Amino acid sequence: MRRASKRALFVQSSKLFGMAAYSLSLVLCIILKAATFGPVPRIVWEQEEIPLTRFNVEGVFNYSSLLLSENEDILYVGAREVIFAVKSTNIAEKTREAYWKVTDEKSEGCARKGKSKQTECFNFIRVLQPLSEDTLYVCGTYAFQPTCDHLDLNSFQLLGKHEDGKGRCPFDPAHSYTSVMVDGELYSATSNNFLGSEPIIFRHSQQSQLRTEYAVPWLNEPNFVFADVIRAPQNNPDGDDDKIYFFFTEVSVEFDFLSKLLIPRVARVCKGDQGGQRTLQKKWTSFLKAKLICHSPENNFFFNVINDVFILKSPDLKEPVIYGVFTSHLNNVGLSAVCTYNVSAVENVFATGKYMQSATVEQSHTKWVRYNGEVPKPRPGACINNEVRALNYTGSLNLPDKTLQFVKDHPLIEDSVYPIGQKPKLMIRNVAFTQIVVDRVTALDGVTYDVMFLSTDQGKLHKAVNHDSEMRIIEEIVLFPNMEPVQTLVLTTKQRKRYIYAGSSTGVVQSPVAFCDQFTSCVECIMTRDPYCAWNSLQSSCVNIVDEKSSGRPLIQALNGDISRCPDSVAQGTEKTMVYTLKPGSMVELNCIHKSELASLVWTFNNKELSDNNPRYRLLHKGILLFNVSEVDTGTYQCLFQENVMGNMISWLIISYIVELERIPPPLLSTTRWSLTEGNLAPTQVYTEVTHRTTTRMPSTTPFKTSAAPIKNVTSKLLTTLSTATLTELIDALQEFGVEKTSFLKSTSDCSLFIFPIIILLVLFLLLLTYNCYKGFLPGPCLKFRSAMFSGKKVPPSFADCEQGVNEILVKNPNLHTEPTTAPRDTDDVTKPDYGNGNLHHKEDLEKVDMIEKDKPFDVKCELKYADSDGD
Ligand SMILES: *[C@@H]1O[C@H](CO)[C@@H](O)[C@H](O)[C@H]1NC(C)=O
Ligand SMILES: *[C@@H]1O[C@H](CO)[C@@H](O)[C@H](O)[C@H]1NC(C)=O
Ligand SMILES: *[C@@H]1O[C@H](CO)[C@@H](O)[C@H](O)[C@H]1NC(C)=O
């Protein structure tokens, strides 16, 4: 009796709070929908699906420096205590190696200074730059004693120079660093002391060394990410100098903030700088810095941390374009963005912007404000160009002290560098971009596309392209399956075949820039809308147009997704037809596998579209599940793929299934028994036998693995069954409250995965709450509720009342619990799942049960209980 009432209450409470669960799920759905932000990668390539080449050597870690020599087809890899040379066309092929280990004595000394012998006191290679035709300049942390050397490429041996590497390489492997070799001089930005407290931007050459002033206005706790040279145009009328740009995030001096406010910066120095004669001796006379703005005006997101930069230089570009990847420590944590800048915009800020200066307010506190006074001539921080030369200043050494003193005190420009288009090119949530490289590819329509490759802190690579002002992520590539951050990205540009190389703590990965050959049909090839890929209708293959440069081939490319350009035979002939011969009453899942995360499936049954879910079937993300197959379910099921391309819905057929029934009834059919244990509905036994045969019109050329999975005793399928059944159960309960089943399914279809466990937990919690309330364990409002509930009734309704009603039905309908088909049944099996199973006769019976129940005082779903009571 007690158990019975408890169960009655479970059913009751699940109905009472069905509405609550429904509302909660809607709210959660809205939150989750709002959370999806920015473009979604259309295709996700898992590592086993695509040909990636890997390089790592046992016992070697921290593959943090990559240097590509495209003339020699060699990739140099700087790891911990070793430098490798591998073939750039196949990095798995190692050609040379040079170990550079710290001595035991140095390692001991490092440990004595409190550093870890296991993780830090090694020689982490941080600088790997070409010095001459046959020499590399190499620096390593060398157990907290940065050291540089020359690597002879003929012998692949270090020359044992053992130069002091201070200013070029950090002491601590955890500290930031960047460097660039320009005309035999190394420009580096890193920390200059053991503690990492002294930041420096440094130039090293045999003749001279130049550095930043060690002062807060120059560099304030910077995190350096990138450096590169921007050459002045040849024979430029201004006689301008080449410039080296540095990108970093630092603590701002110009904003008063409660905590340290980080800010992204660009700084530049001139190649011809020689330092000052008296003021700024051996220091930069041309160091200026400004803030980079990466801000989305629409939602007021500020991106204040710059993670990496790539400067796209191409002869066909009017000027180089700076690509920066940003994240945020402000209001929008979890978002990443890409902002692009014109180099001319940066130069303009340095050439004409207002300087900032510090003013002392209230004794010790300093505040940075715009400098409005007179600016000395020549302009402080400017490179030596024809205008300065006309004033008889031929180099930085003879610049006037006034100019030098001014730039020493005012290295910060007030004006900001704004991005092209005044907003990010790309914003995305829940992804932290770590590195960026950009490739240019001219598609068959003659338009040149800039393709961004963005690596993440989870070992992935996103490939994004802007097409008709719509930013798309064509694909996501899983580079490192163990989700480690990608630390370095390098792109080939001159090689015939283009590759991306990515370095991480555990190894290096080589990836092609496109995976065109993964698409085996014209439609798939076109729909990927990848500027690298085109369909070769002669060879019937999807090819990379960059890799195979030869004209006159019949190539089809339509970046607008116009699949009508595909030859008819190919477009129509790729779909498969499979024939399924099933036993009556069995359940089957018809799969429709597609790679696109943006596509939706449309199912037709005998040429009529199947909309929404039905007790007889359930539409899945990549298939359809048919329950209790009977004669009415036989026929042709077709799966169509639909994807929105720039406002046009493009659809095509992927696979057809012909479902037919087996003529002779087999001895054992689908029998599912449900038992209610601890408030959870679980099948105790699912036993279905299905036979199927497949006919394929175009064998082995289907776009992707297309398969149908007949349900056997497979756990995963049981789970599908369970979730379907229990969800249907819940929806039935909700329906009694007038909640539209279809709307519920629609709204949950996207988020049901998230909602389902929440609903289960909620129901369990409510069960507990209600039971305790019913038992009077909970005080106050609960007791009121309890008395209100039962005040109208002398006797609390019990399971027995309900059971009685059911018994009546059982007498009236002796067929109710027997299998309606002619098949013999297992005697033990007296129950069936009470949700729709496609059997009309059976359903009518259940409706009768429902009708009678509704007259019952407690209005409980008895069929649920008797189904369960059988298990006692
Ligand atoms: C070096 O690699 C090891 C192994 O993956 C990793 O645990 C460690 O953090 C790396 N160290 C640095 C400084 O990157
Ligand atoms: C620069 O020097 C030259 C020769 O010494 C002199 O004739 C000229 O007047 C000077 N120009 C300026 C602007 O000082
Ligand atoms: C960048 O340059 C392009 C063309 O060179 C120009 O159209 C655009 O307005 C510039 N943007 C900024 C922010 O300077």
Q: What is the pLDDT of residues 482-494, one digit of tens each?
A: 999 999 999 998 7
User: Edge-to-edge strand order for the sheet containing 470-478?
Assistant: 43-45, 470-478, 460-467, 448-456, 433-442
Instruction: Specify the ligand 1 atom closest to the Cα of 61.
Output: 2
Report which of 558, 553, 582 is spatially closest to residue 571, judged by C-alpha positions: 558
Q: Which atom of ligand 3 is nearest to 342's Cα?
A: 1
- CATH superfamily assigned to domain 571-661: Immunoglobulins (2.60.40.10)
Nearest to 852 by CA among 789, 800, 807, 820: 807
Which residues lie across from 341 on neighbouring strands?
Answer: 322
Query: Considering the entire predicted model, what is its pTM?
Result: 0.74
Q: CA of 619: how far to CAs of 32, 606, 627, 638, in Å?
A: 21, 16, 11, 13
State the pLDDT confidence band at 416, using cuts at 50, 70 and 90. Answer: very high
Distance 456 CA to ligand 3 centre (A): 28
**Which residue has a Cα nearest atom 4 of ligand 2?**
392
Distance CA 80, CA 117 (A): 13
Q: Which of 711, 719, 727 is nearest to 763 (CA)?
A: 727
Mean pLDDT in residue range 440-466: 94
The whole-number pLDDT of residue 272 equals 93
pLDDT in tens, 319-335: 999 999 999 987 777 89
Fold of 63-172+192-206: Methylamine Dehydrogenase; Chain H (2.130.10)
Could you tell me the CA-to-CA distances from 444 to 305, 312, 447, 531 in Å, in that order?
Answer: 37, 22, 7, 8
Residue whose Cα lies nearest atom 1 of ligand 2: it is 392
- Ligand 1 center–CA 191 separation, angstroms: 19
**Separation CA 150–CA 286 (nearest Å):** 29
Identical fold, 63-172+192-206 and 212-430: yes
Q: Which of 292, 342, 346, 347 to mutate to test the pocket of ligand 3 (most atoms within 8 A of CB)?
A: 342
Looking at the CA of 388, name the nearest ligand: 2
Least confident of 65-69, 407-411, 495-499: 495-499
Q: Determine if ligand 3 sits within 6 Å of the CB of residue 27.
A: no
Query: Measured between alpha carbons, how far is 224 from 322 in angstroms, rounded to an integer?
Result: 16
- Please name which of 81, 91, 74 lies closest in space to residue 60, comparing C-alpha atoms: 81
Q: Ligand 2 pocket, 398 CB below 6 A?
A: no
Averaged pLDDT, 512-517: 94
Query: In 3D, which of 78, 54, 53, 82 has the Cα closest to residue 65?
Result: 78
Q: Per CATH, is 212-430 categorized as 2.130.10.10?
A: yes
Query: Does residue 345's CB lie within 6 angstroms of at least one atom of ligand 3?
Result: yes
Q: Considering every ligand atom shown, identify the ligand nearest to the alpha carbon of residue 140 and give its number.
A: 1
- Counting ligands in written order, the one closest to the CA of 348 is 3
* 216-232 average pLDDT score: 95
Task: Output the CA torsion 395→396→398→400 (10° steps).
Answer: 130
- Indicate if the pLDDT at residue 784 is higher than 60: no
Residue 482 near ligand 2, beta carbon < 6 Å = no
CA distance 28 to 477: 30
pLDDT range class, residue 551, cuts 50, 70, 90: low
pLDDT at position 761: 77
Least confident of 77-81, 261-265, 643-647: 643-647
Is the separation of the CB atoms in 716 and 724 below 8 Å? no
- Cβ-proximal residues to 246 (8 Å cutoff; 6+ apart), any chain: 178, 187, 189, 201, 224, 226, 227, 266, 267, 268, 269
Give the pLDDT mean for 487-515.
93
Domain boundaries, the chain: 63-172+192-206, 212-430, 571-661, 668-747, 758-789, 797-855
Q: Which of 74, 56, 60 is nearest to 124 (CA)?
A: 60
- For residue 2 the two structure tokens come to 């007690």
249 burial level (CB within 10 Å; 0-12, 13-18, 19+): buried
Both tokens of residue 69? Answer: 């020599």
Give the closest ligand to the alpha carbon of residue 62. 1
The letter for the amino acid at 391 is L
For the CA of 120, the closest atom of ligand 1 is: 13
For range 607-614, the mean pLDDT: 83
- The encoded tokens of residue 28 equal 């959660």
Q: How far apart are CA 867 and CA 793, in angstroms?
A: 27
Q: Which amino acid is at 327?
A: T
- What average pLDDT does this structure show over 684-692? 36
**Any ligand 3 atom below 6 A from CB of 785:** no
389 lines ligand 2 (CB under 6 A): no
| 3-state DSSP of 371-428 | CCCCCCCCCCCCCCCHHHHHCCCCCHHHCCHHHHHHHHHCCEEEEEECCHHHCCCEEE
What's the average model confidence in pLDDT over 272-299?
A: 94
314 lines ligand 1 (CB under 6 A): no
Residue 828's CB: how many other CB atoms inside 10 A? 9
Average pLDDT, the chain: 77
Region for 562 from its dihedrals, namely left if φ exceeds 0, alpha if ψ lies in -120 to 50, beta otherwise: beta
Angle at 218 between CA 247 and CA 417, to 5 degrees: 45
Q: Whole-angstrom Cα distance, residue 482 to residue 525?
A: 30
